[in-house]
Each structure stands twice: as structure tokens, then as C-alpha cells.
């Protein structure tokens, strides 16, 4: 198989973990006789520094010409405390999602047996947790009209959703649930938000055609509690952009596996794969970041965009073997002194 992969390392620890993932993909290509071409593009703070634009046109073109996108992370502290800066790395991320039509962010959350004790939650609560969140990614308050009054003394953001925007991600969530434990939990705030009431309408209507899939309706405040009290109750969580942002981050830490969780952002065309841990600027350049989530993102890429199931499996097995042998970064074992590169080499050696 001959495939072109756009590589967007981005900011912070992005370049380090992405480099490991690219090496692992190379190794897979050799082993299974494929040709993967990698082409790098700029996005985020590094793109602002180089071009003034957080999502340059060349990067858009690169993504559109690729068969899949491997993404690191964006964000830099120099912009964080100045959200009024005219150009910010986040704008690059949002522009990229919108331009590529990446309307669904899919984040599996599961526990790794050897990591059960790394969770802030008690072992009996997180053991066996296995759910996936479908977060809408190109609608809601992220993209609605926003602004200030003329005197700048009041501000507004508009959350908007259309029936179509809700339908297309609902279909993905139900398709996933059908292959899993057959339960979808729609998270909203329908007792307050009109957009949430539209979500309920569309999702309930869709669900009525799939009687073998259970639809559960849950308010977002309740979901924020349930994720901690009983995360095993979830199978597929479906939610809008902002709620998804908050809940996926909450979910990512309950299992203690933040450095291990991949995500996929999909739409109509090319899909994008990224570790969920973000740019983690304090660790940038120190060779201490956990590359496993990036490698698992690459595995998801192989399976989802290229339908290379055996190859994806090989990558996942390599990560698991590395983990089970104790070859891990400090986030998992504080007494360890293996770095990002060393763990990456171990993973490659197990492929």
C-alpha cells in the first residue's frame, strides 16, 4: 500500500511524541511492505512564529492532499495569559477543524491493567472502564457569532446547532454503539439550553429506528459526577462541542492513562489523529513526554483511515509489550529514567 501521511507536530511536546509515532509507522511499513510518505506541516504557535498564521494555506493544502493526518498538539504559554492577542495558536486548531470538516472527535477511554494504580480514583471504580466519547467538533459556541458591545462593557457568544450537524455525528455514535455494548448516553443541558433540546429531539428521533440500542439522556452536571462515581456505566457518550471538551478531559484523568489515550477527528474527507494529552509545555524539549498516546493514535490511523487492521494491531501490541515490560516514562513510573526516545525505541523493537 502506498499512502501519504501529513505530519503536523505542532507545539510543546508535539514534535517529540510525533517523531516516535512516525518511526513506529516506518517500522510497520517495512515489516508489512507498505510505502508511507511523510510530509511535515506547520500549525499552532510554531506556525505563527514562522509565518504569522496559525494554520497557513500550505498546511491546509498538505492536509487536503494527504490520505491521513498525524497531529501532535498546539498551544504555548506565551499566548495563554493573553487571550486577547490578535493571533493565537488555538485559532489554527479551530480553523483546521473547520476547513477539513472534522465534525466528530472520537476519544476512547479505557484502563490499562498495569496502570490501575496510577489513577487518582480507587482501583475498584476504574477497573474495566471502557467507553468512547463522540464530541461534536465544528459547531456550538466555538464557531457561533461572538463579540462585544460598542463600549466593550458586555460580551456575547452564541451557541448554535442545526439538525444536520447533530444528525451526522449521531449516526457515527450509534454505529459505534452497535459494535459495542449497545448504549448511547446523550449528554446535554436540555433543562436550560434550547440547543440541547434540539439535540434531544434529533437524537431521540434517530434512536427510535434502533430499538436494540439503549438511549440514555443525562444532564451535563450529572455526567460530570457520574464519570467519577461510576465510569463503568458508560459505553458511548455523545455530546456537543463545549460539554465534550470538558467531559473528555475529565474522563482522560480518571483512568490514570492521560499519556496513553489517542483520539481521532473525522469528517467527510481526510481524518486526523492525535494524542489527547495536549502540548504540555512544561515538558517540552526534555525528552520526558510519554509517546504511547501518539503511537496509539498512529495505530488508530492505520485501522481507521487505511483499514490496515493487522498493522494497527501490531502497533498496539508493541505498546502493550513495552508497557508490560516496565519500559515507561516518568508519568507512569516516577522512579524510571527512560525518556521519550528510549521508550520509542523499545516500542519499535517490539513491532
Ligand X SMILES: CC(C)[C@H](C(=O)O)[C@@H](O)C(=O)O
Indicate which residue of 80, 157, 221, 307 is catalytic.
221
Could you tell me which residues are annotated as the binding site for substrate? 97, 107, 135, 221
Binding to ligand X, residues 241-270 (CB under 6 A):
245
Which residue number, 75 or 256, has a Cβ lying nearer to ligand X?
A: 75
Q: Is 157 in the site for ligand X (CB under 6 A)?
A: no
DSSP string, 97-111: HHHTT--EEEEEEE-
Is the alpha carbon torsion for 268, 39, 277, 303 positive or negative? positive
Residue 333's binding partner among its own copies, ligand X, none (Cβ under 5 to 8 angstroms by kind) is: none
Binding its own copies by CB under 8 A: which of 50, 178, 192, 309? 192
189 is catalytic: yes
Contact (CB, 8 A) for 254 and 201: no
| Residue 57 annotated in active site | no
Q: How far apart are CA 242 and CA 41, in angstroms?
A: 27
Window of 10-18, 60-68, 73-81, 105-113 that interacts with its own copies by CB under 8 A? 73-81
| Among 93, 104, 299, 338, contact with ligand X (rule: CB under 6 A) | 93
The number of beta carbons lying within 10 Å of the beta carbon of residue 306 is 17
Indicate the residue among 66 and 126 with the shorter CB distance to its own copies.
126
DSSP H/E element including 2? strand 2-10
Residues 222-251 that bind its own copies (CB under 8 A): 222, 224-225, 227-229, 242-243, 245-250
End-to-end CA distance of the chain: 18
Instruction: List Cα–Cα distances, 320 to 108, 132, 327, 351, in angstroms.
Output: 16, 20, 10, 11
Catalytic residue among 3, 11, 79, 142: 142
C-alpha of 280 from chain center: 15
Instruction: Report the alpha-carbon distance of residue 138 to residue 334 in Å, rounded.
Output: 38
Q: Tell the smallest beta-carbon distance from residue 300 to ligand X (Å).
A: 16
Q: Which of residues 156-175 bind its own copies (CB under 8 A)?
A: 156-164
Coil, helix or strand at residue 68: strand
Is the Cβ–Cβ distance between 271 and 171 less than 8 Å? no
Name which position in 155, 208, 212, 335 contacts its own copies (CB under 8 A): 155
**DSSP SS3 for 236:** strand
Catalytic residue flag (residue 245): yes
Q: Are 287 and 339 in contact (CB under 8 A)?
A: yes
The contact set with ligand X (CB under 6 A) reads: 75, 90, 93, 191-192, 221, 245
| Binding positions for its own copies, rule: CB under 8 A | 79-81, 83-84, 88, 90, 94, 120-122, 125, 141-142, 144, 146-148, 153-164, 189-198, 200-201, 217, 220-222, 224-225, 227-229, 242-243, 245-250, 252-254, 258
Supply the residues annotated as catalytic: 142, 189, 221, 245, 249
Amino acid at each position: 500500500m502506498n499512502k501519504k501521511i501529513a505530519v503536523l507536530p505542532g507545539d510543546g511536546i508535539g514534535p517529540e511524541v510525533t517523531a516516535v509515532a512516525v518511526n513506529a509507522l516506518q517500522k510497520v511499513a517495512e515489516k508489512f511492505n507498505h510505502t508511507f510518505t511523510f510530509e511535515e506541516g506547520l500549525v499552532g504557535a510554531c506556525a505563527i512564529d514562522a509565518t504569522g498564521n496559525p494554520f497557513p494555506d500550505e498546511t491546509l493544502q498538505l492536509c487536503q492532499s494527504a490520505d491521513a493526518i498525524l497531529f501532535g498538539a498546539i498551544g504555548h504559554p506565551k499566548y495563554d495569559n493573553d487571550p486577547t492577542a490578535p493571533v493565537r495558536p488555538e485559532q489554527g486548531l479551530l480553523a483546521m477543524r473547520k476547513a477539513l470538516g472534522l465534525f466528530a472527535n472520537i476519544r476512547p477511554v479505557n484502563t490499562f491493567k498495569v496502570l490501575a494504580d496510577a489513577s487518582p480514583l480507587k482501583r475498584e471504580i476504574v477497573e474495566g472502564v471502557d467507553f468512547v466519547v463522540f464530541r461534536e467538533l465544528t459547531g456550538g459556541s466555538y464557531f457561533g457569532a461572538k463579540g462585544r458591545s460598542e463600549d466593550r462593557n458586555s460580551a456575547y457568544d452564541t451557541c448554535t446547532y442545526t439538525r444536520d450537524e447533530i444528525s451526522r455525528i449521531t449516526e457515527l455514535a450509534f454505529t459505534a454503539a452497535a459494535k459495542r455494548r449497545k448504549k448511547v448516553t446523550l449528554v446535554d443541558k436540555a433543562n436550560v439550553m434550547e440547543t440541547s433540546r434540539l439535540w434531544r429531539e434529533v437524537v431521540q428521533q434517530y434512536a427510535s429506528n434502533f430499538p436494540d440500542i439503549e438511549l440514555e439522556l443525562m444532564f451535563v452536571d450529572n455526567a460530570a459526577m457520574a464519570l467519577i462515581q461510576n465510569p463503568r456505566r458508560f459505553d458511548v457518550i455523545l455530546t456537543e462541542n463545549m460539554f465534550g471538551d470538558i467531559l473528555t478531559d475529565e474522563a482522560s484523568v480518571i483512568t490514570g492513562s492521560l499519556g496513553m489515550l489517542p483520539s481521532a477527528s473525522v469528517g467527510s474527507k481526510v481524518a486526523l489523529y492525535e494524542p489527547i494529552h495536549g502540548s504540555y509545555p512544561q515538558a517540552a524539549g526534555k525528552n520526558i513526554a510519554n509517546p504511547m498516546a501518539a503511537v496509539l493514535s498512529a495505530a488508530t490511523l492505520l485501522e481507521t483511515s487505511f483499514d490496515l487492521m493487522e498493522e494497527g494491531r501490531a502497533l498496539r501490541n508493541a505498546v502493550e509489550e513495552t508497557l508490560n515490560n516496565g519500559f515507561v516514562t516518568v508519568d507512569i513510573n516516577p522512579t524510571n529514567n527512560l525518556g521519550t526516545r528510549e521508550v520509542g525505541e523499545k516500542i519499535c523493537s517490539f513491532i
